[in-house]
Amino acid sequence: MSAADAGVIEMKVPCDPRFLSVVRLAVAGAAARAGLAVAEIDDVKVAISEACTNVIDHAFVGPAASASATFTVRINVGEGELRLEVLDEGAGFDPKHLPAATVENAAERERGLGVFLMQGLMDEVKIESAPGSGTRVLLVKRQAR
């Protein structure tokens, strides 16, 4: 094991919203271990939930549908920094074509503010995806100085 992997926890999660609270609990524990403050841990809980909810809602629909679909949450516990990756091998999408995150759109669809919230709550958000190639979401939260 390299030094970089020393604080890595990896979870394989069923694509089922029942387990969102389980992921939040695990990630909150890791965030506390990384030294984040209570309010920062609250932000992380929302952000990881948003990323996982998007996988559950979008990754394995249509031709990619599968009752046994899972995705991976990788937690990297640093010193004063938590890095989270949410990885799926689902349908993927073109990140350039995300619907605009406006309250008006959200009122119509009752959805669509998840990415916007992630960006507002985390220090770093990266979404890598392409149709047919799955999706990787990176979320980073650092301890306030």
Chain positions contacting other proteins, by CB under 8 A: 17-18, 20-21, 24, 39, 42-43, 45-46, 49-50, 53, 56-57, 103, 106-114, 116-117, 120-121
Which two three-digit tokens encode residue 130?
A: 């392409």
Residue type at position 103: V
CB of 83 to other proteins, least distance (A): 20
Pick from 99, 106, 125: nearest CA to 43: 125
Minimum CB distance to other proteins smaller for 122 or for 138 = 122
**Burial class, 50, CB count within 10 angstroms (exposed 0-12 / middle 13-18 / buried 19+):** buried
Minimum CB distance to other proteins smaller for 8 or for 46 = 46
CB of 22 to other proteins, least distance (A): 10
